[in-house]
Structure 1
Amino acid sequence: MVTALARPGRELAKQLLVIQLSAVALVAVGMAATVSVNWGISALIGGGIFVVANAVFAWCAFMFSGARAAKKVAVSFYTGEVLKILITVVLFSFVYMYMQVELVPLKLTYLLALGINICAPVLFINNKK
């Protein structure tokens, strides 16, 4: 019963990750086709950083469910948020130090994925009455 309560949230998180990944891939392919392959790769890396960090957060956030596990739910949620921030910082640091990337598509695609995350409630409004 407890896992049944968390199932709709897990499904929404999966849908959001698929939407983000699809948008990042579409933008990366579009930039590779129109501008250059380096722009496409940079766009894929920038969006990928956000999608990977968000996937780790979603995994941590839905690790526990139910009223009896309220403290575990809160701890795993905050742990997921801290891990998301740390993964983002580490991946951006790695990319800046060890890779030759174009900064404009890297940051634009990261911001695109972030914008999808911010606008997610609008995407999933249920108008059934």
Structure 2
Amino acid sequence: MGAKSAQLKRPKVIRVVGLQVIVAIVVSVLCWGFLDSVAAYSALLGGLVCAMPNLYFAWKAFSYQGAQAAREIVRSFYKAEAVKFGLTAVLFALVFALVRPLNPISFFLTYAVVQAMHWLAPMVLKR
């Protein structure tokens, strides 16, 4: 076995984040069509508050690879998750402090739908 065949492929987690952004945009457009512009930008903000920290996590957590970097991999996962949690809290606080008017129902429902993409992504991205 050559060195090339022994290396693992990096996970394509960026696809999950891309799917989350697409879902946030689709839900926002649906809110705009069926409700109003406040619901639309509230939905978009809810989706982005979910997707942006996940993008950071995907970028940082998978920066190391290989058995020799096992400690760095574990450390990067813990650090990326901690920063992701903090970033999520900051984004929530910024939205609720700065955005007026805000439709909280659209915001939270879109956040939940975009978060659910983690569970549905393997089925959607299987192709």
Same fold (TM over 0.5): yes
2:67 match: 67
RMSD: 1.8
1:14-93 correspondence to structure 2 within 5 Å? 14-93=14-93
Unaligned residue ranges in structure 2 (runs of 5+): none
The structural deviation recorded for 1:18 is 1.4
Count of aligned pairs: 122
Q: Is the 8 A contact 1:17 1:51 kept in 2?
A: yes
TM-score (norm 2): 0.88
**Which aligned runs of 4 or more in structure 1 are off by greater than 2 angstroms?**
118-126
Q: Is the 8 A contact 1:6 1:62 kept in 2?
A: no
Mapped partners of 2:84, 2:9: distance in 1 = 21
The structural deviation recorded for 1:112 is 0.4
Give per-residue Cα distances to partners, 1:64-110, cap 9 Å, x unaligned.
11111000000001111111111110000111112121100000000
Mapped partners of 1:87, 1:6: distance in 2 = 28
Name the SS of the counterpart of 1:119 in structure 2.
helix
Q: 1:121 to 1:82 in 2, by over 3 A?
A: same
1:5 match: 8
Mapped partners of 2:76, 2:31: distance in 1 = 37
The structural deviation recorded for 1:125 is 5.1
Amino acid in structure 2 at the alignment position of 1:80 = A
Unaligned residue ranges in structure 1 (runs of 5+): none
